[in-house]
A and B are shown apart, each in its own frame.
Chain A
């Protein structure tokens, strides 16, 4: 097929028109799409006005009819626009097709590229240029990498939140976000975050302290105390007080050997006073807190000390002698670079953040209400880290970085001794002879459910997303549906509980005051796996690390292991 000059001119003309048509349609469609994306047909101000009028006069049938008519019109307009865009796409295709076909006819056959390179390029010159370009590229990429490392560093997720960590924590138990239990370290009262949930597996379920069965070592407590053991690496720490001594003791967790002792009162401003307290309590009730560098211990007379892991004194503070009916008992927790201290005294209630290294008080937040014996708990809700205090009468959450109050909700009152339990969505607080309350956290939070059939006394409840477990001062153990509050099982043991239950290795570990550990499946159906005694009175909560369980009895400290 050979076309005359005239025919080719006509083809060119039609092709040009088709091309312009296609471009115009494309632009129109883009604009229509923007309109469709941005306009909400039912948010038309005219419709809104009529709707508001109708809301004020709901019996007006004319207005109702007008709303319907305008609504229909808006919908029709919207769907007409959609239809136009759909039709436009076919017109666009048709235009493009006509343009392509006519251009093909005009082209006749494939022609060589118009821009034939007149001169053969100088390969050597090109090569020199390319070498320079290679070096410039390497420099530019390196520079970009360095700049981005500084500029974008803050956007990188912290190593703790990466998948790598959560993956490697196949053995870990997810709780409320910031509380990631550790198989080795058990840094606070009730473990990481004070959550009562521990990682690890392979713990012995049967032992006998009297017979020595599965008892790896047993040593006499250096001094009496109710604080629980905490662990970092191979070192275990407890506090004790007696015979004029108050101290933190570092013990080799593998052998039971006492490595060093750090006094709780050998610093200039230290108090030597021994305030009155319940006979069972004493000066060493608060459990120390640990990080990789330091151990912090608080005593019943308000002395707060910091030692490094080798026993070198770092700093000491005296926070004032707390006046408390039962004795000062709030355990310490650490969040990032701050040591968080809940101070409860008849004359002062506060929450303070101390710099870990220097001991400088970074902030102090007064707390309302009456003194309690609970300990603070770290949690994270909606990605916001918060320190939960089971106060009296309100439960409060504070920003652990600056101490600002995030929210307060009505909680429990009376003798508040148990710490809060948390999971990913709720906070649970309890006071003996009062009630157990599950709270939806937040400024607009409220009670999700509550129950007063069972109430814990000293022992704190523990929760995961499915279950809430609680042991009471009467010897009861209860399991609730954590979300609905349904009682799933209850049982009664012979002795009361002071130690807090722990969820670990899919088991619930409940240590009663007679020294018997009841081990049950951490499930909604009661299944007792075993009961194992250490053979002496126990009030402190157990610690779990690397397949071993550490229990502080009234007289002795036990390491329980089957290996």
Chain B
């Protein structure tokens, strides 16, 4: 019976997924009729917006789920409880709410609102952005642990652990920073919401995603069986913010409930390499020398930050191509200058719209100018992140216990199971 209860969440999940697929696949069996009598289809083809009450209901569920996760991780130290919360989150925020609204995508809403006076961010989007970060400040990455549907689907399917080399892990871990920077830049310039566009799992939740994303999501899920949480670790832009906020968390989970025996068992239980080793015997350097060296390495941080700011500034015109108007303007200009005919759908629509080419080129210049303004700030952020991250690795910190790396730990509680220290409540 005990064994069965371990599998129960997965069985429920399977039933839920099949039911959901069958339910949403129904319209596919009956293609839309093609009327010939002048009937026009209603323009509203997408999900209807929920009423404000329901949006606040979602916020309430989010808060409750976060508190429950924190309680389960910090107080109860229950991995099984976390699995149940993950199933609930996947069911509610994933299949029921179809991945929208999500904290990850809300980064873009906020960017758009900050840099465009004409866009008013919905309160619910603001809350979905900020509440998980507040939770991270209080309890660590409890949002990633069991509330985020993207994290939950990976958590529930990642049951074999293949550790990848540290160097590879370090390089891949830099991708989310770049992804976040670009997502903010693209949203602020009204170019694209790339986080939503390239969400690998929303296709499962809605059964209507582009096929490429279904393929990507499926492959990511399969990879995730062995390399656990690949999206969270190597792509998730919101994870970057969670990482930063969690470092200052008031009450973070601990691996051991009491004194650490330095047995290293937890180290092998963490698939994310997010455990900081103890080094109680380490000799501290002479303070004067240590300070001097630290100052030298610290001074490298602004060099990296300014260097990346300059680099991003220089490549900003190339980045601006993600904006449809810029892309179109360059296509039209190519036609004018090189005689290469503009054949894209956007070009055809443009010629039919009656908009003048000068208007388009002016728009292109405006958007490129905004990229030019924003890109150095993204470079500065990336440079500071990289510089501070590298600087931390050069500094000595004496630890007596094995501790979770507060930034990278997903609070998944897997390590707890491997800790031989137990206390009886």
- A contacts, CB < 8 Å to B: 1-2, 19, 22, 26, 29-30, 33, 85-86, 88-90, 92-93, 95-97, 99-101, 103-105, 107, 109-117, 120-121, 123-124, 126-127, 130-131, 133-135, 137-138, 141-142, 144-145, 148-149, 151-153, 155-157, 161-166, 174, 176-177, 380-384, 424-425
Residues of A within 8 A of B297 (CB): 131, 134
The docked-state distance in angstroms from the alpha carbon of A177 to that of B365 is 11
CB atoms of A96 and B390 under 8 A apart: no
**A100-B221, A113-B163, A380-B358 given as contacts; is B372 within 8 A of A162 (CB)?**
yes
The docked-state distance in angstroms from the alpha carbon of A151 to that of B314 is 9
CB atoms of A93 and B333 under 8 A apart: no
CB atoms of B218 and A138 under 8 A apart: no
The docked-state distance in angstroms from the alpha carbon of A111 to that of B393 is 29
Residues of B within 8 A of A384 (CB): 336
From A22, A123, A153, A166, give the contact of B314 (CB < 8 A). Answer: A153
CB atoms of A92 and B317 under 8 A apart: no
Given contacts A123-B396, A137-B390, A382-B361, 11 further A-B contacts (CB under 8 A): A86-B28, A96-B218, A99-B225, A105-B7, A110-B417, A115-B162, A123-B282, A138-B303, A156-B314, A165-B369, A384-B336
Q: Is B344 among interface residues, defined by CB-CB distance under 8 A?
A: no
CB atoms of A152 and B159 under 8 A apart: no
CB atoms of A30 and B215 under 8 A apart: yes
Chosen A-B contacts, 13 in total, with CB atoms closer than 8 Å, are A22-B222, A30-B215, A93-B214, A123-B282, A127-B395, A131-B394, A134-B390, A137-B386, A152-B315, A157-B369, A161-B365, A166-B366, A383-B336
**A33-B211, A97-B14, A383-B361 given as contacts; is B218 within 8 A of A114 (CB)?**
no
The docked-state distance in angstroms from the alpha carbon of A151 to that of B418 is 54
From B203, B277, B303, give the contact of A141 (CB < 8 A). Answer: B303
**A93-B204, A162-B369 given as contacts; is B214 within 8 A of A177 (CB)?**
no
Q: What 7 A-B pairs are tightest by C-beta distance, nearest first?
A: A163-B369, A141-B307, A162-B369, A130-B393, A145-B310, A148-B314, A113-B161
The docked-state distance in angstroms from the alpha carbon of A152 to that of B372 is 13
Number of B interface residues, CB 8 Å? Answer: 82
**A100-B222, A100-B225 given as contacts; is B393 within 8 A of A127 (CB)?**
yes
B248-266 CB mask vs A (1 if < 8 Å, else 0) is 0000000000000000110
Residues of B within 8 A of A30 (CB): 212, 215
CB atoms of A157 and B163 under 8 A apart: no
Residues of B within 8 A of A115 (CB): 162-163
Q: Is B421 among interface residues, defined by CB-CB distance under 8 A?
A: no
CB atoms of A120 and B277 under 8 A apart: yes
The docked-state distance in angstroms from the alpha carbon of A100 to that of B162 is 16
CB atoms of A110 and B277 under 8 A apart: no
The docked-state distance in angstroms from the alpha carbon of A151 to that of B315 is 10
Residues of A within 8 A of B300 (CB): 134-135, 138
The docked-state distance in angstroms from the alpha carbon of A130 to that of B388 is 12
B394-425 CB mask vs A (1 if < 8 Å, else 0) is 11100000000000000000100110000000
B20-63 CB mask vs A (1 if < 8 Å, else 0) is 01000100100000000000000000000000000000000000
Interface centre among B314, B333, B387 (most CB of A within 10 A): B314
Residues of A within 8 A of B395 (CB): 127
The docked-state distance in angstroms from the alpha carbon of A83 to that of B167 is 44
CB atoms of A114 and B163 under 8 A apart: yes
